[in-house]
Amino acid sequence: MNASNGTMVAALLLGASVALGGCAATPPPLSAAAATRDAYALGPGDKLRITVYNEPALTGEYTVTPSSTIAFPLVGDVPVTERTIDTLRQAITTRLADGYVNDPRVSVEVMTFRTYYILGEVNKPGEYPYSVGLTLEQAVATAGGYTYRANKRRIFLRRARAEERSVDLRGTAVSVLPGDTVRVGERYF
């Protein structure tokens, strides 16, 4: 191997190690797959419909409190932090089966998602209700579109408990999730 090939191999290995090293602290994904039912982490402000088959006194609508719990009859406060719909269903089923209901059959659905926020160079910045499948472009449209100073190529997105990331709008569509903060910056002339 000559010096030129050795330098090239070393550069490739260095590049690969830097790329792989960044994977350890990768923020939540921006793709549409992140918005699926299985991946959605419940949080404060979500309104849920919980149905317990043949138990009308337990069936009802519950709102996740700011402390990330729901007050469920018989079993008390149920923590919701970082739970998906399925894991919450399992937790309630387990608690009810522990001496309260014989063979409980529980279903959980999200009736109303928590809001998302959009600020910066849009005509109507503020808090907006989330809808399933919402993309960054649709969020901007909901906020009245761009101002004349807006950077229409790049938007900043902050997921819950993650750093703000710059998103290139010329690529694939990026989903907005409940609780996200979208910031439209100024363009530089």
* Domains held by the chain: number: 2
Return the number of other C-beta atoms located less than 10 Å from residue 14's C-beta: 10
Structure letter (DSSP) for residue 160: T
The H or E element containing residue 138 is helix 136-142
Q: Is 157 exposed, middle or buried (0-12, 13-18, 19+ CB in 10 A)?
A: buried
Do 133 and 106 fall into the same domain? no
What is the per-residue pLDDT for 38? Answer: 53
Band of residue 41 on the pLDDT scale cut at 50, 70, 90: confident
**What is the distance between the alpha carbons of residues 116 and 137, in angstroms, rounded to a whole number?**
14
What is the per-residue pLDDT for 92? Answer: 96
| List of residues 6+ apart from 84 with CB closer than 8 A | 37, 38, 39, 40, 41, 42
Residue 172 lies in a domain: yes
Band of residue 140 on the pLDDT scale cut at 50, 70, 90: very high
Mean pLDDT, rounded, of the chain: 82
Do 68 and 79 fall into the same domain? yes
Return the number of other C-beta atoms located less than 10 Å from residue 145's C-beta: 13
Residue 29 lies in a domain: no
Domain boundary (112, 138, 155) is at 112
Residue 19 lies in a domain: no
Do 101 and 121 fall into the same domain? no
**What is the distance between the alpha carbons of residues 146 and 124, in angstroms, rounded to a whole number?**
9
Do 119 and 148 fall into the same domain? yes
Asked if residue 27 has pLDDT above 70, the reply is no
Asked if residue 121 has pLDDT above 70, the reply is yes
| 78-87, 115-124, 136-145, 157-166: the lowest-pLDDT one | 157-166
Domain boundary (60, 85, 112) is at 112
| List of residues 6+ apart from 74 with CB closer than 8 A | 58, 95, 96, 100, 101
Do 173 and 140 fall into the same domain? yes
What's the rounded mean pLDDT across residues 114-138? 93
Do 127 and 169 fall into the same domain? yes
Residue 16 lies in a domain: no
What is the per-residue pLDDT for 132? Answer: 84
Asked if residue 17 has pLDDT above 50, the reply is no
Asked if residue 104 has pLDDT above 50, the reply is yes
Structure letter (DSSP) for residue 130: -
CATH of the domain at 72: 3.30.1950.10
Give me the domain span that covers residue 101.
47-112
Do 74 and 126 fall into the same domain? no
Band of residue 133 on the pLDDT scale cut at 50, 70, 90: confident
